[in-house]
Structure 1
Amino acid sequence: MDINEQTRRFIAAHRTEQVRDIALHAHPEDGTDLAVALDCIEGWQRARTKLPQWAACEDIIYPPHLAMEQCSSQSTAQYKTDLAQRLSSGAPHPTTLIDITGGFGVDFSYMSRVFDRAVYIERQQHLCELAEHNMRALGIGNARIVNADAAAILDELPPATLIMADPARRDAHGSRTYAIADCTPNMLAILPKLAGIAPIIIKLSPMLDWHQAAQDCNRALDDAATPAAVSEIHIVSVHNECKELLLVITRHGAEDGETDTFPLVTCVDDDTVFSFHAQDTAGTKAQERKQLRHNTQPTTLDQPAYLYEPNASLMKASCFDLLAQRFGVTQIDSNSHLFVSDKQVDAFPGRAFAINAYGPVKHTLRGIKQANIAVRNYPASVAQVRKRYHIADGGDTFVFLTTMSGKKTAFVCVKA
């Protein structure tokens, strides 16, 4: 797929302008493909922040809006590349990556660099044409582009070191889907065959419950000829926004036991990493969890103390008892998911605040005119709180409204 010179000149001349204004007011020269130009301009503008290395490559052709919206960011693609490199470490050469849901090719463009060979499979022809052009533009010489429905050619797949899958989370009408079985392809239907080929990384919606996702995949793998199970779960956030849920499926021998063994869960937010085995939050720790819950009310806040808000990946993982154990902090209530301590814990994976005041909401908020407000397990929204107490947004003060021992409580803080 190539762009003619007229279209290239138009893109270069207008790519920093608003796409809507260009569409309404621009007067392209004859031969300019305006639809392609607008897609490339909008795509490049998104790529400047989402994919800066791609944006720096002048010859990239960008797809329509939806493909750009769904593709990985540079940081999450690099994370999957590091994961793929670790999973394939020690594999015999030549190593081969198969991406069965190629899409725009961002993950493939990064992951392919740590393999000797890489196969991109995509059922939409125009995305295959884009990928062939863009991989060449990016200097990736080990890629083979295949226009096919991977689910229909499972028996034809070559031997592989690793399989990557990012099933489309849109139905035939373009509506969002989240359940694994509702995505395309239905990974639950093809996992038994894929597991016999190579380890698998599946990228799923961050909206999914990771426990249920792992259970669904393990049930699907019960009928696999090659024993396999979910061995790792990665919850990936960028700048405290949960972006991806990754499942790693690997083979195991009969000596490894049942397929419902507990996977390693890794919570990532930028450079912060927190890992635990899922068994640490299961029934085997029931007595410890009961004791932790019994000790959820803070008792040592007479002097200014510290409040902690776990990052987005930890919130998704719901490993709150483990946080209390590892960092020596105390949950203020079992459903509030906020923690306190007498002394500052520098390594806590999330935001840390120094507490200036805490107590009943009305009394504690008296005199506050501006603050950043968050509510946790509290019967009113941020907007309702602002309206009721006449508090403007912004400033250096942070207010957390929550429920502690059944009482509505406010914490007034500043960043630690």
Structure 2
Amino acid sequence: MIFVTSVGNNNIIQNKEIQDYINANLHTDLHALLLKKSPFPDVSMHEIVQQIKGKQTAQKKFPFLLKEGIIFPPQLNLEQASSETTALYKSQILKGNKFVDLTSGFGIDAYYLSGNFNEVTLVEQNLELLNIVEHNWKILGRKASFINQNLEDFLSTNKEYFDVIYLDPARRDQNKNKVFLLEDLSPDILQIKEILLATADQVIIKLSPLIDLKYLISVLPGIFRIEIIALKNDVKEAVVFLSNEKKDGITVNCINLESGEPDFKFVFGDEENVQAVYSEPEKFIYIPNNSILKAGVFNLISERFNLKKLHPNTHIYTSPQKVGGFPGRILEMEVVESKQIKKKGQFNIISKNYPLKPDDIKKKYGIKDGGESYLIFTQSKKGKIILKSL
């Protein structure tokens, strides 16, 4: 094992003059800035712009790193890192004695997930990135063992047993194309699943939100929990929990962070045991959030909330009275004819199970985007319909 104890030239970037220059240019055109010569002989303009981009990203994605002395890695590492919000949510699920992140990256997940553990180990094969993370964790007052190794080598020589192993496999192939099947990830999860489960009580794997749940469960034994995590209705990740301990059923939790909407929990397979009831639109219209849609529990939503579905392929629901606690949008609407749509009106356009996309609809009807009113172009069992908010 190689333990990292230095941060190399990153100390130079912390010079007060350089930091003042970085902070003064947080809103400067970075393309124009890159064409200029660096005013500091020991730091390139590329390195300065890297820090500016890091601070800009941190303002939105992980504001806890907006602290004096923090160093930021290249843009790709920033893009691949989890947000502070999703990492904090996952941290509330875990606690124990020993935690290891086998693909620590920029360390956002590791920082939050390891907060309830006594011993923390970060494994990362990119030495430069690990140096930066070690430096930042010292600034933040968080202790860990930092190991510069790829996870396969670490697992082959490791003698420790952990309460929790966490990993986020790379989801791009050698040509930088996105991949989704477990055997195409790096590392190949199917190849290392046995050693993972022999090394920890629980194994937690962050996967692409595009992963198919039925496929996932069919190829990866030991799953007992799946978290489908959306942030402001944008599904960010599917997180899978594995254990050797036999458990009854697989619990799936759909969460839409920063929305104020409740979680939606179910046992995988429940969807197959219920049937939706269909109806033409009534007074209230319900659109599930995207974590629900990702889970594919279209009939279960109908059954749980006593709602009627418009069409087998239209995942929009309706009821005559308003139902509380629904994980998604609730709109009071009426059916309108196309001739009732005011030209040059302003609406939020939703198109579901309809031939035209929102941009095509706006062009056809001369509608401007925005405002507080909604138009939904969709289908019921009787055919194409347009719904307008009241």
Pairwise same-fold verdict (TM > 0.5): yes
* Cα distance, 1:363 vs structure 2: 4.1
- 1:179-234, CA deviations, whole angstroms, 9 ceiling, x for partnerless residues? 2222211111101111112111100011111221222212xxxxxxxxxx100011
- Counterpart in the other structure of 2:250: 263
- Counterpart in the other structure of 1:223: none
Between 1:66-75 and 1:10-19, the stretch displaced more is 10-19
Which one has more relative contact order, counting CA pairs under 8 Å at least 6 apart?
Answer: 2
Residues in 1 aligned to 2:325 and 2:290: alpha-carbon distance in whole angstroms:
16
Residues in 1 aligned to 2:374 and 2:145: alpha-carbon distance in whole angstroms:
52
Question: Is residue 385 from structure 1 mapped to residue 361 from structure 2 by the alignment?
Answer: yes
- 1:153 aligns to what SS in structure 2? helix
- Counterpart in the other structure of 1:173: 175
The equivalences for 1:65-76 within 5 A come to 65-76=75-86
Q: Is the contact between residue 38 and residue 45 of structure 2 (CA under 8 Å) also seen in structure 1?
A: no
Q: Is the contact between residue 169 and residue 186 of structure 2 (CA under 8 Å) also seen in structure 1?
A: yes
* Cα distance, 1:80 vs structure 2: 1.4
- 1:67-115, CA deviations, whole angstroms, 9 ceiling, x for partnerless residues? 1011000110011111223xx4xxxxxx110101111111111112210
- Indicate the percent of aligned positions where both proteins have the same amino acid: 28
- 2:11 aligns to what SS in structure 1? coil
Q: Is the contact between residue 365 and residue 410 of structure 1 (CA under 8 Å) also seen in structure 2?
A: no
- Counterpart in the other structure of 2:40: 29
Q: Is the contact between residue 101 and residue 122 of structure 2 (CA under 8 Å) also seen in structure 1?
A: yes
- Choose the corresponding residue for 2:335, options 330, 355, 358: 358
Residues in 2 aligned to 1:67 and 1:406: alpha-carbon distance in whole angstroms:
50
Q: Is the contact between residue 210 and residue 245 of structure 1 (CA under 8 Å) also seen in structure 2?
A: no
Residues in 1 aligned to 2:388 and 2:232: alpha-carbon distance in whole angstroms:
23
- Counterpart in the other structure of 1:394: 370
* Cα distance, 1:19 vs structure 2: 2.1
AA matched with 1:230: I
Q: Is the contact between residue 159 and residue 197 of structure 1 (CA under 8 Å) also seen in structure 2?
A: yes
Q: Is the contact between residue 10 and residue 32 of structure 1 (CA under 8 Å) also seen in structure 2?
A: no
- 1:352 aligns to what SS in structure 2? strand
Residues in 2 aligned to 1:74 and 1:128: alpha-carbon distance in whole angstroms:
19
- Choose the corresponding residue for 1:205, options 199, 204, 208: 208
> 1:53–1:39: structure 2 CA closer, same or farther, 3 Å change rule?
same
- Counterpart in the other structure of 2:240: 247
- Counterpart in the other structure of 1:3: 11
* Cα distance, 1:392 vs structure 2: 1.6
Q: Is the contact between residue 119 and residue 146 of structure 1 (CA under 8 Å) also seen in structure 2?
A: yes
* Cα distance, 1:131 vs structure 2: 1.4
Question: Is residue 316 from structure 1 mapped to residue 294 from structure 2 by the alignment?
Answer: yes
Residues in 2 aligned to 1:366 and 1:112: alpha-carbon distance in whole angstroms:
55
Residues in 2 aligned to 1:380 and 1:262: alpha-carbon distance in whole angstroms:
40
Residues in 2 aligned to 1:111 and 1:170: alpha-carbon distance in whole angstroms:
24
Residues in 1 aligned to 2:331 and 2:368: alpha-carbon distance in whole angstroms:
20
Q: Is the contact between residue 217 and residue 223 of structure 2 (CA under 8 Å) also seen in structure 1?
A: yes
* Cα distance, 1:366 vs structure 2: 5.4
Residues in 1 aligned to 2:216 and 2:268: alpha-carbon distance in whole angstroms:
13
- Counterpart in the other structure of 2:68: 58
AA matched with 2:141: G
- Counterpart in the other structure of 2:92: 82
- 1:337 aligns to what SS in structure 2? strand
Structure 1 stretches of 5 or more lacking a match?
Answer: 89-94, 219-228
AA matched with 1:263: I
AA matched with 2:270: D
* Cα distance, 1:322 vs structure 2: 1.3
> 1:8–1:396: structure 2 CA closer, same or farther, 3 Å change rule?
closer
Residues in 1 aligned to 2:339 and 2:315: alpha-carbon distance in whole angstroms:
23
Q: Is the contact between residue 347 and residue 370 of structure 2 (CA under 8 Å) also seen in structure 1?
A: yes
Between 1:166-175 and 1:325-334, the stretch displaced more is 166-175
Q: Is the contact between residue 343 and residue 367 of structure 2 (CA under 8 Å) also seen in structure 1?
A: no
- Counterpart in the other structure of 1:325: 303
Question: Is residue 296 from structure 1 mapped to residue 278 from structure 2 by the alignment?
Answer: yes
The equivalences for 1:103-182 within 5 A come to 103-141=105-143, 143-157=144-158, 158-182=160-184
Q: Is the contact between residue 100 and residue 150 of structure 1 (CA under 8 Å) also seen in structure 2?
A: yes
Q: Is the contact between residue 14 and residue 41 of structure 1 (CA under 8 Å) also seen in structure 2?
A: yes
- Choose the corresponding residue for 2:217, options 211, 214, 221: 214
> 1:76–1:235: structure 2 CA closer, same or farther, 3 Å change rule?
same
Q: Is the contact between residue 307 and residue 319 of structure 2 (CA under 8 Å) also seen in structure 1?
A: yes
- Choose the corresponding residue for 1:49, options 35, 46, 60: 60
- 1:153-194, CA deviations, whole angstroms, 9 ceiling, x for partnerless residues? 313232101000101112223332222222211111101111
- 1:408 aligns to what SS in structure 2? strand
CA RMSD of aligned residues (A): 1.8
Q: Is the contact between residue 7 and residue 33 of structure 1 (CA under 8 Å) also seen in structure 2?
A: no
Residues in 1 aligned to 2:35 and 2:180: alpha-carbon distance in whole angstroms:
36
- Counterpart in the other structure of 2:230: 237
Residues in 2 aligned to 1:20 and 1:84: alpha-carbon distance in whole angstroms:
42
- Counterpart in the other structure of 1:337: 315
Residues in 2 aligned to 1:9 and 1:32: alpha-carbon distance in whole angstroms:
14
- 1:395 aligns to what SS in structure 2? strand
AA matched with 1:115: F
Q: Is the contact between residue 279 and residue 318 of structure 2 (CA under 8 Å) also seen in structure 1?
A: no
- 1:98 aligns to what SS in structure 2? strand
Residues in 1 aligned to 2:324 and 2:124: alpha-carbon distance in whole angstroms:
46
* Cα distance, 1:364 vs structure 2: 4.8
- Choose the corresponding residue for 2:285, options 284, 307, 320: 307
